[in-house]
Amino acid sequence: MSTQPGIEKQRVKVKHKVARRNNIEGWILMLPMVIVLYLMIWRPTVMGAIWSTFRMKGYTPHEFIGLRNYIEVVKDTQFLPTLWNTVMYVFWSLVVGYLPPVILAIMINEMVHFKNGFKIVLYLPQIVPGVAALLMWYYIYYPDSSGLLNFFLAKFGIDPYIWLNDGRFTILYIVISMTWSGFAGTMVLYYAAVQSISSELYEAAIIDGAGMLKRVRYVTIPQLSGVLLLTFVRQIISVFQVVEQPLVMTGGGPNGASTSLGYQLYKYGFVNGRAGHAMALGVIIFFILITLTVLYMRLNKKVEENY
């Protein structure tokens, strides 16, 4: 009887020793990634937030000025128009770009013939290098008769249209080009998710007399809801940071109509030499995105609880 607690103690000791060894091995395995994350993500993020409260000389913090950079960024007469533009980028990207990858993934899943060929064709835009795709779209939208779209309009006797120069719709046209370049990657995600849906569910639906649309409505969509939510949040986050498209295609114009917060940040940091303002705006964007994400997650939780 007296040896029992001793054995138990010994056993616990061995268990801890193994756990500790596993722990250390785990940390060693993770260490390279942790170092990279620290150097490339965590440290710059934290330092950016700290330095955003300093007056910068180049990239050197010079004098602590509290929230002055934030006040100057928010007081900038272009801040609200730029914020609105960014919201419009997100809005149009959800309207134009959110559903096509889902629809295409479902279509491919339902296809019987030429499935692989169709997949390859649809994936081609994804492999066009980013800036090359933007320049291609720049010339597609070119506002004189040498632009591809105007070339087709001319075939129907229609005068050339100014496309990206039309400030009312510049963001929409940019979003169309973004969707073309990016939809294939999302489509693959959806396709993988569609493929993982149990065929028994479809068989049961067919037995119950469900047609293709009903199968999509009652089987596919509910099964994809997790991925749909994920891509929805991802899309908001990535489109909110749009920089390259206005940089390459419009320079933020016409008259600031396509300047996004991300592009404004780029201009602060790399064109106008205002690193403090750039970092303050970065932190503002960070908090806007965190707030949006948390709000959406909570909203979604409530919606799910109701069903």
Partner 1 sequence: MKNSVTKKHQRMVAFILVCIISLSMCTSCGIKGTVAEKDGKTVISVGSWPQKSGPSLEKIERQKAEFEADNPDVIIQPDSWTFDLKTFYPKAEAGLLPTLYYTFFTELAQVINAEYAADITAVLNKRGYKDKFNPKIMDLISRDNKVFAFPYSAYVLGLAYNTELFRQAGLMEADGTPKQPKTWNELAEFAQKIKQATGKAGFVFPTANNVGGWIFTCLAWSFGVKFIDKNAEGKWIATFNSPECVEALQFIKDLRWKYDVLPANTLIDGNEYYKLYATGNAGMLIAAGDVGKKCAPYEMPVDHIGIMALPAGPARHVTLMGGGVYLIANNATEKQKDAAVRWIEKRGYGYELTEDAKQTIENNIKEELEKGYIIGIKSMSVWAEDTEIEKYKNAMIEKYANSNMNHVRLYNEFVQNRNVEVQPEEPVCAQDLYGVLDNCIQEVLLNENADCARLIENACNDFQVNYLDNLDY
Binding footprint of partner 1 on the chain (CB under 8 A): 16, 23, 27, 31, 34-35, 38-39, 43, 55, 57-60, 72, 75-78, 142-144, 160, 162, 164-165, 167, 250-256, 267, 269-273, 275
Q: How far is the CB of 206 from partner 1 (least distance, A)?
A: 51
- 26 vs 222 by CB, closer to partner 1: 26
Q: How far is the CB of 124 from partner 1 (least distance, A)?
A: 27
Q: How far is the CB of 76 from partner 1 (least distance, A)?
A: 5
- 215 vs 267 by CB, closer to partner 1: 267
> Running DSSP on this structure, what letter comes out for residue 159?
P
Peptide bond just before 129 cis, omega within 30 deg: no
Cβ(53)–Cβ(66) below 8 Å: yes
The neighbour count for residue 120, using CB atoms within 10 Å, is 9
- 182 vs 276 by CB, closer to partner 1: 276
Q: How far is the CB of 20 from partner 1 (least distance, A)?
A: 8
Q: What is the CA radius of gyration of the chain?
A: 26
Residues present in the chain in total: 307
User: How far is Cα 116 from Cα 242, in angstroms, rounded to an integer?
Assistant: 32
- 57 vs 217 by CB, closer to partner 1: 57
- 47 vs 95 by CB, closer to partner 1: 47
With residues binned 3-state (H G I as helix, E B as strand, rest as coil), the percentages for the chain, rounded to 5, are 75, 5, 20
- 34 vs 295 by CB, closer to partner 1: 34
Q: How far is the CB of 89 from partner 1 (least distance, A)?
A: 17
Q: What is the DSSP secondary-structure string of 229-264?
A: HHHHHHHHHHHHT--HHIIIIITT-STTTT--HHHH
Q: How far is the CB of 93 from partner 1 (least distance, A)?
A: 21
Cβ(122)–Cβ(104) below 8 Å: yes
